Amino acid sequence: MTRENEDQMVNKGGISSPSAEEGSGGGNVGGSGPLKKGPWTSAEDAILVEYVTKHGEGNWNAVQKHSGLARCGKSCRLRWANHLRPDLKKGAFTADEERRIIELHAKMGNKWARMAAELPGRTDNEIKNYWNTRIKRRQRAGLPIYPPDICLQALHENRQSEHISAFSSGNPQHPDLLPINSFEIPAVEFKNLEFNHQMYPPPLIDIPARNLLDIPASNLLAPGVNSSYASKGMLSTVPATKRPRQLEPLFSGLSSSFNTSFTSCNKYQNDGSQQTVQSFGFSSAYDQNPTSDHPSSSFVLPGSHALLNGNPSSSEPTWAMKLELPSLQTQMGSWGSPSSPLPSLESVDTLIQSPPNEQTHSGSLSPRNSGLLDAVLYESQSMKNIKNSPGQQISSASMVQGEVMDNSSPDHHETEWEVYGDPISPLGHSAASVFSKYTPISGSSSDEPPTFETTPGSKVKQEGGDLVPVEYGGKDETSNSNQMIFSRPDFLLASNCFGPQIDHSKGPLHAERCSWGTSW
């Protein structure tokens, strides 16, 4: 402890104030050993740096012996790796880095060290912390973890690897390949995929929609179906015991990087929707004929699975767990292992939370039931329909609902859609109706932000700057339901895009609320 005293003195006026802690003795643990714990002092840092400079990295346990540093080798290694390395990049993650992290995580899952290797100057711990905090934030907001473009990219890569790798669905683990072979697409992601198109900025990495769509359904489903990796981390599920009480936003920190590219979403929607749909090579319940050039036929669809799940049976109970982080790899094995094909389609469906679609497709035929990618297809198609069928411009939201609810003016919607993500979309209504039916409002729990009224009878919950309709009294819009409760995370997500639309009469407010900008 002379060392500590020394440190304290040296650390005087230093950075963090570990000295204080040391002084209290809190930093010292370990009982018998003189080894110190807790925050490092600048003096300790200096010693460690000097030692490493002289002897090089490695053999960390020798540090204590040779340098007198009262730290265990493990701690020394961690300190060096995370803070003292000369090549470390300090400061917040740049937009590019954020973007990269997302991409890497989509491919690797919680392989922080590997991710760090891809990000010069960044440490695994840093990335992990970043991810976890952002994920939590995003989860809370009910936002998807990965932006669509990332998904697409991952899928594309996945597809490529698919050709290369011999093992497929039933195949056991190939740790190295896993990340690639399976694309981590959290349920939430698909759940909100529809939103993603509007919410997420255009892909920095422009991936031809076609590539994405060409991916076999198996690949898409891989996360839960055939990839051990997926089983580990791709699907965001968590053991019930570990399930977060509230869903958190996943992308909050990415705003900067993604904000810049928003139009791309439209790109996919507008330009590639048809192609996209067609090119989706995988066969799904929804489309048995992937090569079909008439997606439209199959696209009366109910809209994207993404947001809402009209299916009470699947959505409600599993809802919470669906929105989990990939990091929860452990549970994946339970339903994503190769031996056990999927969390089961049902599970997937649940994840997707496809809405009941009696009108257009029978539940069995719905792509939503087939798998994650299907959802993408659906969405894409739906988008196309919206564009191509003025007379039938049904907001994706409405489609999602599987119920006819859209009353808002199509034109207007379309316009705003591009800007805000279909502000006027009735989605909110449908969503609300669905939620009101299957979602316990109480679920919002204590974490729920205060609510305020935007319109008579309607309440909006503010979440991360976005308004989330909590209750809708059915004022203006054509709501079929007079009472809507959007406490569910998926709706929250939706709210980011559509929530504001609930009361589009409030233009300014709407625009403001809809901004994804900083919230990401």
Partner DNA sequence: AAATTATACAACCGCGACGAC
Partner DNA sequence: AGTCGTCGCGGTTGTATAATT
**Per-residue interface string for the shown chain with DNA, residues 313-352, x marking contact by CB under 7 A:** --------------xxxx----------------------
- Rounded to a whole number of angstroms, the minimum distance from the CB of residue 353 to DNA is 23
Distance, in Å, from the CA atom of 515 to the CA atom of 518, rounded to the nearest integer, reads 8
HSE (side-chain half, CA atoms, 13 Å) at 269? 31
Q: What Rg do the C-alpha atoms of the chain give, in angstroms?
A: 25
For position 500 contacting DNA by CB under 7 A, the verdict is no
Closest Cα to residue 60, out of 36, 82, 52? Answer: 52
376 neighbors 220 (Cβ within 8 angstroms): yes
Structure tokens at 394: 């049904």
Residue 388 phi/psi, 5° resolution?
A: -85, -20
Stretch that binds DNA, among 53-61, 186-194, 257-265, 473-481 (CB under 7 A): 53-61
For position 415 contacting DNA by CB under 7 A, the verdict is no
Residue 28 phi/psi, 5° resolution?
A: -100, 120
Query: Considering only residues 440-459, where is the footprint of DNA by CB under 7 A?
Result: 446-447, 449-450
One residue of 46, 113, 404, 511 binding DNA per CB under 7 A: 113
In the complex with DNA, which residue's Cβ is closer, 135 or 376?
Answer: 135
**Per-residue interface string for the shown chain with DNA, residues 229-268, x marking contact by CB under 7 A:** ----x--------x---------xx---------------
Query: Considering only residues 73-92, where is the footprint of DNA by CB under 7 A?
Result: 73-75, 77-79, 81-83, 92
For position 107 contacting DNA by CB under 7 A, the verdict is no
- Rounded to a whole number of angstroms, the minimum distance from the CB of residue 485 to DNA is 20
In the complex with DNA, which residue's Cβ is closer, 19 or 158?
Answer: 19
For position 32 contacting DNA by CB under 7 A, the verdict is no
**Per-residue interface string for the shown chain with DNA, residues 135-174, x marking contact by CB under 7 A:** -xx--x----------------------------------
- Rounded to a whole number of angstroms, the minimum distance from the CB of residue 71 to DNA is 6
| Side-by-side strand order, sheet with 458-463 | 451-455, 458-463, 466-471
Closest Cα to residue 192, out of 375, 443, 434? Answer: 375
Count of residues binding DNA (CB under 7 A)? 62
Q: Can you tell me whether residue 451 is helix, strand or coil?
A: strand
For position 278 contacting DNA by CB under 7 A, the verdict is no
One residue of 89, 132, 345, 475 binding DNA per CB under 7 A: 132
| Continuous segment of H or E residues that includes residue 420 | helix 410-420
Structure tokens at 353: 């939370």
Residue 275, C-beta contacts closer than 8 angstroms, at least 6 positions apart: 209, 210, 213
Distance, in Å, from the CA atom of 355 to the CA atom of 349, rounded to the nearest integer, reads 10
- Other CB atoms within 10 Å distance of the CB of residue 120: 10
In the complex with DNA, which residue's Cβ is closer, 36 or 361?
Answer: 36
- Rounded to a whole number of angstroms, the minimum distance from the CB of residue 195 to DNA is 20
For position 460 contacting DNA by CB under 7 A, the verdict is no
- Rounded to a whole number of angstroms, the minimum distance from the CB of residue 198 to DNA is 23
For position 312 contacting DNA by CB under 7 A, the verdict is no
Burial class (CB in 10 A: 0-12, 13-18, 19+), 461: buried
- What's the Cα-to-Cα distance from 440 to each of 237, 240, 455, 464, rounded to whole Å? 20, 17, 22, 21
Residue 470, C-beta contacts closer than 8 angstroms, at least 6 positions apart: 441, 444, 451, 459, 460, 461, 485, 486, 487
For position 53 contacting DNA by CB under 7 A, the verdict is no
In the complex with DNA, which residue's Cβ is closer, 78 or 300?
Answer: 78
In the complex with DNA, which residue's Cβ is closer, 181 or 380?
Answer: 181
Q: Which residues of this protein are in contact with DNA, per CB under 7 A? A: 16-18, 20-21, 26, 29-30, 36-40, 57-62, 71-75, 77-79, 81-83, 92, 109-114, 116, 124-126, 128-130, 132-134, 136-137, 140, 233, 242, 252-253, 327-330, 446-447, 449-450
